[in-house]
Amino acid sequence: MTLNGWLQILVFCGIVLVLVKPLGAYMTRVFSGERTILSPVLVPIERGLYALAGTSERESQHWTAYAFALLMFNLFGTLVLYLLLRFQDILPLNPAGMAAVPPELSFNTAVSFVSNTNWQNYGGESTMSYLTQMAGFTVQNFLSAATGMAIAIGLIRAFSGASGTSGTVGLSGKKTIGNFWVDMARGTLYVLLPACILLTLVYVWLGVPQTFGPYVEATTIEGARQTIAVGPVASQLAIKMLGTNGGGFFNANSAHPFENPDNISNMIQMVSIFAIGAAFTNVFGRMVGNQRQGWAILAAMGLLFITGVGVVYWAEASGNPFMHQLGLMGGNMEGKETRFGIAMSSLFAVITTAASCGAVNAMHGSFTALGGLIPLINMQLGEVIVGGVGAGFYGIVLFIIIAIFVAGLMVGRTPEYLGKKIEAKEMKMAVLAILCLPLAMLIFTAIATVLPSAVASIGTAGPHGFSEILYAYTSAAANNGSAFGGLTGNTPWYNVTLGLSMLMGRFLVIIPALAIAGSLIAKKTVPASAGTFPTDGPLFVGLLVGTILIVGGLTFMPALALGPVVEHLVMIAGQTF
């Protein structure tokens, strides 16, 4: 580890912290329906979209109607993207003549982008047309991110008691959490789209391609012919990072020089991944009327994040003892780009797995055992360390409910958070949502490790091969999308089962989260008393971190022991003997 490396890490953390309050304030105004600087331009467009959808900003929905609208919208998006993939060979904007995508891969890819996972069992520049990349992937990158933001806002309203419209009672007379169509439209129009337009222009300025022209044919010095893939890269890159989607235009993702030319673009991409997720904590604090609540949640996230960065940076900077025995000293540069180095590769790996993004600027399968362990743990914890756009916030709220319940049991009081009683219904829904992740991750992993056709896809025997399988299902269920590159995932087994894992990890968390929101919005706010557990101080931060590590982490220890832990012990044994 070097001082320069830590300075770069601190610069990143400083930029994110500086953005939290202004971005949080802006997003609060957007989702509260208040006037913003973009309102004169966007309000007519916004109202036109509501007219087309048959709704208005004055209508609010019960949580069941909110969830139904969300599910139907995502189902429709999956079908449209699936058909686009299956018929891309006869559709326009296909200068490279890409063939139709096979059925299993089309299913996997459609589910992947709709669920904000962006797992890619294909090489983008060798499989997908320009139309598929733009009208399919880029559009879903916006919509899946906006969906996550909408759910987070609905849950925040449950604690603040605001519906996002003129009142908290909908047309049915029931307590409501907002309007899914309104929340999604505002998140897209006022937050994601303007930021992505600006980021696209910056990326083009830095050298990222943005063209409809065909692939470029070049002749090397030796006289060989080479095809250089280009396309509308910058526009997809912007939302790929800001929306924590992660699906790259190129197979090498953000390790490719056309997607990530230099350290400036690398820093912009890392900040983009964290910006909205971190700002959601401030939105929460503002909407519940106490910004300290948001800072406490961000402090818990930050503590877990810095710890993870420290472990990965130390492990990668220490290098591989087997290489040291051969006289090759220094850190582990395998699978990393020299233009980023160990510090920025380690930081990027922790950011992308803490924030449900999945973009990579280095190959995680080439990390040391401990260096690969932390990205795995980040995803297995539910990616609540900032997490995906919106998804990270409603994910950590589930752990907050459990932490508050534990605190209530300790002192013999009915648990409450921000004046809302946490009772049996909320606990059941929180536990259901948290347990769906290990269910999807571990059951499919167990089957794949004994199924000959699945085992045949791993690239390395032994504990690292097991880690490849575990990482794949962990990444899919956590809606991350990164991978240990040694696994060949484009097979019928992995395409179907990884797709199912993505659906379970996305919607079996969303529905219980919305059910919690619907339950809490109907409850009266209880004034704080002398016995109320304070949730804006260091004690709460410690309790929340402990709950995340114990409840979220211990479930996976046996599986981790068979993979990266054994691999690390083998590495130590090789150094000793």
CB 95 within 8 A of CB 214: yes
How many C-beta neighbours within 10 Å does residue 216 have? 12
Q: Is 168 in contact with 175 (CB distance < 8 Å)?
A: yes
Spatial CA neighbour of 272 closest among 343, 201, 207, 195: 195
Query: Which strand (E) or helix (H) includes residue 495?
Result: helix 492-521
Question: Distance of alpha carbon 267 from its chain centroid, rounded?
Answer: 18
Pairing mode of beta strands 420-421, 416-417: antiparallel
Q: Label residue 102 exposed, middle or buried (CB < 10 Å: 0-12, 13-18, 19+).
A: middle
SS3 per residue for 203-224: HHHHCCCECCCCCEEEECCCCC
Domain residue spans in the chain? Answer: 391-576
Cα dihedral: 181, 187, 189, 194 (round 10): -170
Query: How distant is the alpha carbon of residue 576 from its chain centre?
Result: 39
pLDDT in tens, the chain (577 residues): 889 999 999 999 999 999 999 999 999 999 999 999 999 999 999 999 999 888 988 899 999 999 999 999 999 999 999 999 999 999 999 998 999 999 999 999 999 999 999 999 998 888 999 999 999 999 999 999 999 999 999 999 999 875 444 334 444 446 789 999 999 999 999 999 999 999 999 999 999 999 998 899 888 888 888 889 899 999 999 999 999 999 889 999 999 999 999 999 999 999 999 999 999 999 999 999 999 999 999 999 999 999 999 999 999 998 877 777 777 777 889 899 999 999 999 999 999 999 989 899 999 999 999 999 999 999 999 888 998 888 889 999 999 999 999 888 887 777 888 888 888 899 999 999 999 889 999 999 999 999 999 999 998 888 999 999 999 999 999 999 999 888 898 999 999 999 999 999 999 999 999 999 999 998 888 887 777 788 889 999 999 999 999 887 788 999 999 999 998 888 877 654 3
CA distance readout (Å), 216 to 209, 211, 219: 12, 11, 10
CA distance 234 to 197: 10
At 265, the amino acid letter reads: S
Cα separation, 389 vs 434, whole angstroms: 18
Q: Show the CA angle centred on residue 87, arms to residues 125 and 109, nearest 5°.
A: 55
The answer to whether the beta carbons of residues 249 and 124 sit under 8 Å apart is yes
